[in-house]
Structure 1
C-alpha cells in the first residue's frame, strides 16, 4: 500500500483528489501537491494546495509520519492509530482518518472533519 503510494508520488508533481459522500451529498477535496516518503522516513506525508467542496482536513496532518497500532509515530502520548482503530498520519488527534472502521458512528469511523466527525463518509 504505502510503498505503492510512495512510488507513484516520488516522480514529481502529483495531485490527490478525495471524493466522498455523506447523507446523499457529494464532496471533494483536491490537493495540488501530494507525496508520501519511503519506509525509512516512515512514510511521511507532504500535502498542500487544497481546493474543493470539502474542508481542508488533510493539511493538519502535513509532515506527519504514518502511525499504526505497532508503529506509534504520532505526537500524542497515546497510540492514536490503536485508539481510533485506523492507521493514519495522526498528530495529537486527527481531522481526517480514511482508514477507520467502515460505517462506524463514532470516532473510529472514516472521518473527514467538516463533512462528518465523528462518523463515517462513503466514497464515490
Structure 2
C-alpha cells in the first residue's frame, strides 16, 4: 500500500489542466513515512514520477546528533545473497531484496536529492562484530545525463574514517559503462561491482562478497579502507540517507 500523508488543510493540486482539491499527498521517502505515524522499521511503498517504489526505512534513532531516525536505506550488504556484479540498467533502476541485500537505484536517488537536501550515514561491521560509522552532512546524485555524479561533503567521523570523499565528484561506473579515471574499468577488473570510482577507490560497498576469506591485499570485497587501513572484506555495510529539514 502506498503511504498517504493527510493534512488538516486542503491544498489545490494541479493535475494536467485541471485543479483538483486534495488534503493528502504521497510519501516520497522515510521522513514522509515517519510523519504519517508509521514508526516501525521495514519495507514501505512510496511514490516517484516513475511510479511506486519500495524502500526500506530504518526508523531507529542513530544514538548521536546526526539524525532522529527515519533513514532511507540506499544500499545494504550483509550475507552475499545478492549478486552486485550487474550492468548499468540494474544500478539505474535498483535491485535486490529490500528486507536484505539491495541497491535502491540511481534514478530514484537523483529524484530524491534533486527535490530535498539529504545527509548520508554509512554503517560498517567486520567479521569480529566490531562496528563503526561515517556521516556526510550533504549527499546528492546528479542526473543520468551527468553520469549520476556523486556529491558528498561535511564528513563527521564515527570511528570509520573518511573513505568516500576521495570519490566525490565522480560519475557512476558499471562493467558495461566505464566513467572512472582509471586506464581500465574499476567495476570490471578491480571490484566486480558498480560504484562511484575515481582511480579506483578507497571504498566499494558493492564488491564481491568474500565472507572474510581473504588477506589484506585483496580489494574485491566490500571495503572501507580508512577504518583499519586495510582492504579486508566487511561483513556488513549499509548506506542510508535522511532528509535535512
Measured against the shorter chain, the TM-score band is over 0.9
**Which of 106, 116, 138 lines up with 1:33 in the alignment?**
138
| Number of corresponding residues | 124
Aligned residues of 1:36 and 1:43 also touching (Cα < 8 A): yes
1:123 equivalenced with 2:237 (yes/no): yes
Q: Shift of the alpha carbon at 1:77?
A: 0.8
Name the TM-score, length of structure 1 as normaliser.
0.93
Distance in 1 between residues matched to 2:175 and 2:219, nearest whole Å? 16
Q: Shift of the alpha carbon at 1:8?
A: 1.7
Q: Which runs of 5+ in 1 are unaligned?
A: none
Which residue in 2 is equivalent to 1:45?
150
**Which of 42, 65, 70 lines up with 2:171 in the alignment?**
65
Name the TM-score, length of structure 2 as normaliser.
0.48
Matches within 5 A, 1:1-124: 1-22=105-126, 23-51=128-156, 52-83=158-189, 84-103=191-210, 105=214, 106-115=218-227, 117-121=230-234, 122-123=236-237
Q: Shift of the alpha carbon at 1:54?
A: 0.8
Aligned residues of 1:103 and 1:119 also touching (Cα < 8 A): no
- Superposition RMSD on alpha carbons, in Å? 1.4
Q: Shift of the alpha carbon at 1:115?
A: 2.6
Deviation per residue, 1:8-39 (Å, 9 max, x gap): 21123201001111121111011000001111
